[in-house]
């Protein structure tokens, strides 16, 4: 997709910084030195989104209007009935090379689906959304393979039954659309293969389109060979790595330079870019400084700030962003900002800054699904509409599809963002072994109370049987600190009351909530809280 074609400001300096390491490739998009986009890829992980698989239908679920397809992964892929049959109109809405969820109901009944696609039958599908949490990947049976200027769609036909030759709806200029359609009419398309012009095709020559088509046909021929020869389930086409996708999708006239720190990747990108134009090739530059390229451009600091739970605004206000299983919650706060005008004007200013930053944060973090913004309450309906418009304008630069609703009576702004893959946070983090993803652990006070409560129970039991009992309690360091200070008197009284001796042992790596109570004489574990 043309990532920057929407932006017309001429003075904006745009650079793409690429850091290539053995275990990770990072891509940062800068606008006047400010981080606006971020992507990360690990070479050891399979590139799923955009890849094409030959799979086998496992079962049909009419209640869900979906088929589950074995494509060789741990979890079966989800194929909605409306994604089995083409909806060519929707192809013209997007130009990133991936077909999106059809907007029309399936043209086949459940009985026709069962007849044409029975369990056990083979089917070729393309991944549009990677596995997230417990869900398997989302797939469609309508293939689309992106090139530099064209998207190739095997089997795509127009309403006349002829191979589709279309232009992305994002290209609005009537004269340019007409020129592109004339070029398409002269392209020698293979039988039963359609194409759509991407926004990157703006101003491209007929020769460039012909060259792009030849590359796509070569890919399609290889895919057909894999379909015939490889055993099911298998991958028949894999999306290129991140470096190659940068050249294919992001290297536009709006980009001043692509700077990369790896010599091998640099040469490969220049070779790929040379097929586009000499001018484009000159934009690929090599960084050979001693410092890490992200450090050199101040990106690690920006990433740290961007991915914090609390995100500051220019006005002095701030956002609090919480990513949950159900939705992304964003709380907007004024902080200490009072403004120079009325209170309503100050609130409007903070909310406008907030929605602009929210749009940026959604791109940076690659988070999607339902997003709820708890804005600062605005009395003026005019101001509410202005904030909504500002958010929609800021979201126009987003590669993912978005939908924004009006501000509710409760002051909440609801929106959705297309979710195609794991968020950056999910890619780079794992569940905390201490809090298990809750984000909190019990305080030393709460743990101390639990320990004392359990101790009293065990001491009373020992006293009732006249058995000598000296407890040994194993705890975390932060709990030990509490017991030595605030609770020392209480523990002394407990020893005196039950005529015993309490021994406490601190273990450095013990979970803050975990403790064990042993019999000091026998080392028998009487109670353990893990």
Same domain, 94 and 194: yes
Same domain, 97 and 233: yes
Domain count, the chain: 4
DSSP states of 257-281:
EEEE--HHHHHHHHHHHHTT-HHHH
Same domain, 76 and 218: yes
50-100 pLDDT, tens per residue? 999 999 999 999 998 999 999 999 899 999 998 886 554 445 554 444 444
Establish if 456 belongs to a structural domain.
yes
Query: Among the three residues 254, 278, 300, which one is the final residue of a domain in this structure?
Result: 300
Establish if 433 belongs to a structural domain.
no
Question: What CATH number should be reported for the domain holding residue 177?
Answer: 2.40.50.140
Same domain, 166 and 264: no
Same domain, 420 and 339: yes
- What pLDDT is recorded for position 2? 43
List the beta bridge partners of residue 70: 56
Radius of gyration of the chain (CA): 30
Strands (DSSP E) contained in 387-524 are: 402-404, 412-417, 471-475, 503-506, 515-519
Residues in the chain where the model's pLDDT stays below 70: 1-11, 85-107, 158-159, 161, 338-339, 420
Establish if 9 belongs to a structural domain.
no
Same domain, 93 and 231: yes
Take residue 407 and report the two structure tokens written for it: 């501000």
- What pLDDT is recorded for position 106? 46
270-300 pLDDT, tens per residue? 998 887 777 788 899 999 988 899 999 999 8
Establish if 436 belongs to a structural domain.
no
Q: Exposed (0-12), middle (13-18) or buried (19+): which is 280, by Cβ within 10 Å?
A: buried
Establish if 435 belongs to a structural domain.
no
Q: Which candidate, 529, 322, 332, 278, places its Cα nearest to that of 425?
A: 322
Same domain, 114 and 224: yes
Q: Which residues lie below 8 Å from residue 512, measured CB to CB, with a gap of 6+?
A: 434, 441, 442, 444, 447, 476, 478, 479
Same domain, 185 and 80: yes
Same domain, 295 and 384: no
Question: What CATH number should be reported for the domain holding residue 272?
Answer: 3.30.420.60
- What pLDDT is recorded for position 221? 93
Take residue 320 and report the two structure tokens written for it: 């609090």
Same domain, 260 and 226: no
Q: How many other CB atoms sit within 10 Å of the CB of residue 184?
A: 21
Same domain, 56 and 119: yes
The whole model's pTM is what? 0.77
Establish if 4 belongs to a structural domain.
no
Q: How many other CB atoms sit within 10 Å of the CB of residue 402?
A: 18
Query: Among the three residues 204, 219, 239, which one is the final residue of a domain in this structure?
Result: 239
Domain that holds residue 485: 444-529
CA 246 to chain centre: 17
- What pLDDT is recorded for position 449? 94
């Amino acid at each position: 997709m043309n990532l920057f074609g929407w932006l017309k400001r001429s003075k904006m300096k745009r650079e793409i910084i690429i850091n290539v390491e053995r275990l990770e490739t990072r891509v940062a998009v800068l606008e006047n030195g400010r981080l606006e986009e971020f992507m990360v890829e690990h070479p050891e992980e399979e590139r799923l989104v955009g890849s094409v698989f030959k799979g086998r239908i496992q079962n049909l679920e009419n209640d869900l209007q979906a088929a589950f397809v074995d494509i060789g992964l741990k979890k079966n892929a989800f194929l909605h009935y409306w994604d089995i049959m083409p909806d060519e109109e929707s192809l013209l809405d997007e130009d990133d090379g991936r077909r999106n969820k059809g907007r029309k109901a399936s043209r086949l009944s459940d009985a026709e689906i069962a007849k044409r696609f029975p369990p056990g039958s083979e089917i070729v599908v393309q991944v549009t959304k990677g596995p997230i949490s417990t869900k398997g990947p989302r797939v469609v049976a309508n293939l689309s393979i992106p090139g530099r200027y064209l998207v190739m769609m095997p089997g795509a036909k127009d309403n006349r039954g002829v191979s589709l030759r279309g232009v992305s709806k994002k290209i609005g200029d009537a004269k340019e659309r007409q020129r592109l359609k004339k070029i398409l009419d002269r392209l020698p398309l293979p039988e039963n293969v359609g194409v759509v012009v991407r926004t990157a095709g703006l101003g491209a020559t007929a020769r460039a389109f012909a060259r792009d088509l030849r590359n796509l046909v070569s890919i399609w021929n290889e895919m057909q060979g894999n379909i015939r020869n490889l055993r099911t389930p298998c991958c028949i086409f894999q999306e290129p790595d991140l470096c190659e996708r940068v050249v294919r999708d992001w290297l536009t006239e709006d980009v001043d330079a692509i700077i990369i720190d790896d010599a091998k990747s640099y040469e490969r990108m220049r070779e790929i870019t040379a097929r586009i134009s000499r001018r484009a090739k000159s934009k690929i530059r090599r960084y050979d400084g001693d410092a890490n390229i992200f450090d050199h451009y101040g990106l690690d600091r920006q990433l740290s700030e961007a991915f914090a739970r609390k995100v500051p605004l220019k006005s002095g206000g701030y956002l609090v962003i919480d990513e949950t299983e159900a939705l992304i919650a964003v709380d907007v706060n004024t902080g200490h900002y009072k403004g120079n005008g009325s209170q309503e004007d100050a609130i409007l200013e903070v909310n406008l800054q907030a929605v602009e930053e929210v749009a940026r944060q959604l791109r940076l973090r690659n988070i999607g699904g339902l997003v709820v913004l708890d804005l600062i309450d605005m009395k003026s309906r005019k101001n509410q509409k202005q904030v909504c418009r500002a958010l929609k304008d800021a979201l126009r630069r987003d590669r993912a599809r978005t939908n924004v609703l009006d501000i509710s009576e409760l002051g909440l702004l609801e929106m959705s963002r297309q979710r195609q893959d794991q968020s950056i946070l999910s890619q780079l983090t794992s569940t905390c072994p201490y809090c298990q993803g809750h984000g909190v652990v019990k305080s030393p006070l709460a743990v101390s109370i639990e320990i004392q409560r359990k101790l009293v129970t065990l001491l009373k039991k020992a006293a009732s049987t006249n058995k000598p009992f000296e407890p040994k309690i194993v705890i975390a360091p932060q709990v030990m600190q509490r017991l030595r200070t605030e609770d020392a008197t209480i523990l002394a009284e407990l020893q005196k009351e039950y005529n015993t001796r309490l021994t406490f042992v601190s273990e450095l790596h013990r979970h803050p909530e975990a403790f064990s109570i042993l019999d000091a004489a026998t080392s028998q574990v009487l109670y353990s809280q893990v």
